[in-house]
Amino acid sequence: MDRDGTLILDKNYLSHVEDIEYFPDTLKALEIFQDLGFELFVVTNQSGVGRGYFSLESVYVIHRQLQNDLREFKLQPFKDFAICPHGPDDKCQCRKPSGQMIQDLIAKYHISPKHSYMLGDKLIDAQSGQNAGIQGILVRHQQQSEFPFFKTLLDFAHHLKSRP
Ligand SMILES: [Mg+2]
Ligand SMILES: [Zn+2]
């Protein structure tokens, strides 16, 4: 799943742990995903690094805090984080909508693409899933597209739970 705007509020170049703010439904949704047997990964573009706004280390600090928060809520921590630290003009291979970061996770953890989803608030998130061969899902922020849309992460969790 995407990080900013999906898991936590998009604070526009978040770099301080004090500014981490979860959506009210996030942790409940993660709990349902894990109860359903999903492993959770974060796939995030952090161009603030490439733009020189903050260091990669400060991204790691944020992610360590997320892991602590999940543990505190009795959840499994995220299995891994994939980070693109590049700017849009860097012509890197990893920045979403590229599927590269997801493909790397699929290979590294032997993930079944057929049984996986990429969740995000932007079209580029869903497209990155599609580009990696997994189903892209839009949450929280609707953009006109061919991808399924759910108002919240929890709505999608309930949808998965209610499947036969
Ligand atoms: Mg986002
Ligand atoms: Zn990149």
pLDDT in tens, 114-160: 999 999 999 999 999 999 999 999 999 888 899 999 999 999 999 99
Write phi, then psi, for 2 (nearest 5 degrees): -70, 160
Banded pLDDT at 18 (limits 50, 70, 90): very high
124 CA to centre of ligand 1 in angstroms: 9
Which ligand minimizes its atom distance to the CA of 84? 2
126 CA to centre of ligand 1 in angstroms: 11
Which ligand minimizes its atom distance to the CA of 47? 2
The CATH number of 17-161, from 2.60.260.20, 3.40.50.1000, 3.10.129.10, 3.20.20.70, is 3.40.50.1000
Per-residue pLDDT of 34-71, as tens digits, reads 999 999 999 999 999 999 999 999 999 999 999 999 99
CB neighbour list of residue 15: distance below 8 Å, 6 or more residues apart: 48, 53, 54, 58, 59, 62
